[in-house]
Structure 1
Amino acid sequence: MSVETTRRSVLMGALGLAGAMTFFGAAYAETTRLRLAWWGGNERTRRTQEVLKLYQQRVNGVELAGEVSNSEYFTKLATQVVGRSAPDVFQLEPNSFADFVKRDCVLALDGLMPNPIDAAGISRAMLDLCAVDGKVWGIPQALNSFAMMYDKDAFATAGVTPPDAQTSWDDYADRMVELTKALNRRRYWGSCDASGYSYAFQVWLRQRGRDLFTADQALGFGKDDVAEWFAYWDKLRQRGGCVPADVAALSPDSTINLMPLIQGKAATSFAFSNQIVGMQATTPVQLAMTMFPNGGAGAKPGQFYRPASSWSIYAQSPNPEAAARFVNFFVSDPEAAKILGVERGVPMSPALRASILPTLRPVERATVEYIDAIADKVGPYPPPPPKGSQQFGQLMKRAADAVAFNSASISDSAATLMKDAHSIL
């Protein structure tokens, strides 16, 4: 999740939308008002607002109010759910999806398909990515996977071979140390510190035949796994191959403008494939992407295809059918698809994917090409995370920072994470 928009620019954009839609709604005796919530940076917000404007031009009597948040998006949404004031339509992603479904705040969409939600262009396998307990609770917007982004020129200048799909975790560490030394730039390192990134930890676990969570809603790893992960990054930190604790602490997740790569402090960052669009729009350096490091000989596939984001409807929405019509438009209208491009990921519908390809810029095409290129290297989609799992990322980041700042040992931090993780499930 990534947002670079300032509060002022978001407010100005929201006021612009609200003003246009209030005027539009006033022209009709009966106006349906829908609140829509998403996370994202300037680029995502710009594209989303264009689609909202297109929708208001197409559909009479609907007033749309957009709400965009930064890294506090899910905390805010959870608070709104508790207060029974959640938006009519909101964006979710795999790590949060099942958690919110199990809070009984999401509307099952099976009864709204195929009308007004026509999901014919999305395969059943893709719809199942948004299914829990046999029901569909969201419509996937687009497909992505994990991706390592890197500064092409930094590697060329250092004379270090960039990472690729054949790069193991050990190889990656050695190259990051080599690059840091070769460039010898002040406050600049080869790698970000991904020790607190739960999504990177998940890939690493899956390469070893484990996962974050099991199908029976339990933790899928043990203390030794956490300790080994923390030790890998601690060693790389001590060797000078990744950013130090003070830099890592300011990069809590995959928020674009907080990434060390975007801030000019590292040559690589662990992210998601669709993010290259927003990242490249934010930095002058030329970016490329590849897979996360592999687990070595005999390892299982760590990565998997995932719905980059999905649209769900609030169970208490007073206008579920109007909300469903909007969701259908957002994910299936050809003109909307051209506006959205691949900033949210590669469209699920093959027809939409084909229709937008001619309109894509090179950096956008890279996302599509990457998704195609890793087809034989991805594993199965993981089971739905248990209720409460949305908090796991915060717990992991806190434990990882304790190691980085030397305020707790690796063993103690691993034990703390296990204890805290059990307590939220």
Structure 2
Amino acid sequence: MSTPIGRRSVLAGALGLAGAAALPAALRAESERLRVVWWGNDDRTRRTLEVLKLYQAKAQGAELVGEVSNAEYFPKLATQLVGRNAPDIFQLEPGSFADFVQRGATLPLDDLMPQPIDTSGISRDLLDLCSLDGKVWGIPHGLNSFALMYDTAVFKAAGIAPPDEKTSWDDYADRMAELTKAAGRDQYWGSCDASGYGYAFQVWLRQRGADLFTADRTLGFSQDHAAEWFSYWDKMRQRGGCVPADIAALSPDSTITQMPLIQGKAATSLAFSNQIVGMQSATQVPLALTMYPNGGPGAKPGQFYRPATCWSIYARCKAPEAAAGFIAFFLSDPEAVKVLGVERGVPMAPAVRELILPTLKPVERATIDYVNFIADKVGPYPPPPPKGSQQFGRVMKRVADTVAFGNASISDGAAHLIADAGAIL
């Protein structure tokens, strides 16, 4: 089970670089063909492919086949798992991790540590980010948290202070409505519409002492919680503080290219801290990041540290030692970590962070500063979600859109969310 992550464990956790220049035995004479899949924008793909080339150059006889997909990633992976032809190494994240583990899709990695995956310097707190029922099923690429991204230039031009860690949800709504008017642009609003973002809903719930799921893997929120959330965004729409339903419908999740902020239709976006790297590469406007709005006086912390993504190994992988060797290379090879930077999150190891710091651009360094800044403002990592939870985001978005378009009342939408979310578990 997961354990709380505090300031000390996050900043002191380490995946040692000792001996990183020497390839693991599984890499030195490997003739297996390994398929590696991930999702992400062009910047992530470029970095990942470069590391795959480095691996093949250093590992005699190794052959890697890299595959990237986005909107179809999880449905495609699920289909491949059913057909027993899934890739050897695949990328997961907190919302999907436990679901795939409980479906028997992933290999427990405990027997592959500390060799070829050297975890001698990594704290158990960090390993628990990808643990379930006492076993490790994935190796996190790096740490991140939720982050509100914003266009610094539009706030400066409007003479309005951008959101910060002291901004409440009510303050945020007021400021976004004010910014929409002050910006005076056609088809431009202060905020994205996050009513269908399950991850944003989770932060909001935790500020109220609830969560998406409970420790016994059932729904952790009520119909009243859902109604209050939908009502908040409905009022934002009515005031012109966030994008309207037709634009929000085209922004189904945190996919960078579909964000209203990146498309030049909004000044802010609720996303994840590591995404600022890819977002900045996709837009000319200067970006900065801060925490999500807070719950007001007396509220609990809503944010927590999370693994941005992780590598897991297919349960039926024919060469698990070789797959584990690649993961070790990806996380600790000096050349590899410099290529990867912080695009997948802040490296877990202080030694890795120190190694890459001189190579980082200002926007990349900002992610490390942000992860350090929120260390005393985050809550514990949530319990593992139940089987079927990976579908929650799609359910949430579908119901939120029906409310946004006026095809369901707020109360009916809340009831549908409870019923539909319960049905997938």
- Equivalence for 2:74: 74
1:96 is aligned to 2:96:
yes
In structure 1, what residue type is equivalent to 2:55?
Y
In structure 2, what residue type is equivalent to 1:318?
K
- Equivalence for 1:152: 152
- Equivalence for 2:55: 55
CA distance in structure 2 between the aligned counterparts of 1:268 and 1:154, rounded to whole angstroms: 10
CA distance in structure 2 between the aligned counterparts of 1:180 and 1:79, rounded to whole angstroms: 43
1:419 is aligned to 2:415:
no
CA distance in structure 2 between the aligned counterparts of 1:344 and 1:140, rounded to whole angstroms: 9
CA distance in structure 2 between the aligned counterparts of 1:149 and 1:180, rounded to whole angstroms: 16
1:401 is aligned to 2:418:
no
Deviation at 1:71, TM superposition (A): 2.1
Q: Residues 315 and 405 of structure 1: is their aligned pair in 2 closer, same or farther, counting only changes over 3 Å?
A: same
CA distance in structure 1 between the aligned counterparts of 2:84 and 2:112, rounded to whole angstroms: 22
Equivalence map 1:145-294=2 (5 Å): 145-294=145-294
CA distance in structure 1 between the aligned counterparts of 2:417 and 2:372, rounded to whole angstroms: 36
Deviation at 1:29, TM superposition (A): 11
CA distance in structure 2 between the aligned counterparts of 1:110 and 1:30, rounded to whole angstroms: 21
CA distance in structure 2 between the aligned counterparts of 1:122 and 1:268, rounded to whole angstroms: 35
Q: Cα deviation per residue 1:140-193 (whole Å; 9 max; x = unaligned)?
A: 110000000000011111111100000000000000000001111100000000
SS at match of 1:250: coil
- Equivalence for 2:366: 366
SS at match of 2:296: coil
- Equivalence for 1:44: 44
CA distance in structure 2 between the aligned counterparts of 1:285 and 1:295, rounded to whole angstroms: 29
Deviation at 1:89, TM superposition (A): 0.3
Deviation at 1:214, TM superposition (A): 0.4
**Retained in 1: the 8 A contact 2:30–2:322?**
no
SS at match of 1:375: helix
Report which structure shows greater RCO (CA 8 Å, sep ≥6): 2
Deviation at 1:75, TM superposition (A): 1.4
CA distance in structure 2 between the aligned counterparts of 1:124 and 1:385, rounded to whole angstroms: 19
Deviation at 1:121, TM superposition (A): 3.5
**Retained in 1: the 8 A contact 2:29–2:62?**
no
Give the root-mean-square deviation of aligned CA atoms: 1.1
In structure 2, what residue type is equivalent to 1:316?
R
CA distance in structure 2 between the aligned counterparts of 1:92 and 1:409, rounded to whole angstroms: 34
SS at match of 2:339: helix
SS at match of 2:36: strand
Deviation at 1:120, TM superposition (A): 2.4
Q: Cα deviation per residue 1:197-255 (whole Å; 9 max; x = unaligned)?
A: 00000000000001000000000001000000000000000000000000000000000
Structure 2 spans left out of the alignment, 5+ residues: 1-27
- Equivalence for 2:355: 355
**Retained in 2: the 8 A contact 1:121–1:350?**
no
Q: Cα deviation per residue 1:52-78 (whole Å; 9 max; x = unaligned)?
A: 000001101111000100122111111
Structure 1 spans left out of the alignment, 5+ residues: 1-27
In structure 2, what residue type is equivalent to 1:208?
R
Aligned length: 398
CA distance in structure 1 between the aligned counterparts of 2:82 and 2:223, rounded to whole angstroms: 33
Deviation at 1:335, TM superposition (A): 1.4
Q: Cα deviation per residue 1:8-58 (whole Å; 9 max; x = unaligned)?
A: xxxxxxxxxxxxxxxxxxxx9983100000011110000001100000011
Deviation at 1:122, TM superposition (A): 2.3
In structure 2, what residue type is equivalent to 1:368?
I
- Equivalence for 1:25: none
Q: Cα deviation per residue 1:298-345 (whole Å; 9 max; x = unaligned)?
A: 000000000001100000011111111111111111211101000001
- Equivalence for 1:326: 326
**Retained in 1: the 8 A contact 2:30–2:60?**
no
Deviation at 1:87, TM superposition (A): 0.3
Identity %: 73
SS at match of 1:347: coil
In structure 1, what residue type is equivalent to 2:315?
A
What is the TM-score when the length of structure 1 is the normalising length?
0.93
Q: Residues 30 and 94 of structure 1: is their aligned pair in 2 closer, same or farther, counting only changes over 3 Å?
A: closer
**Retained in 2: the 8 A contact 1:121–1:351?**
no
- Equivalence for 2:10: none
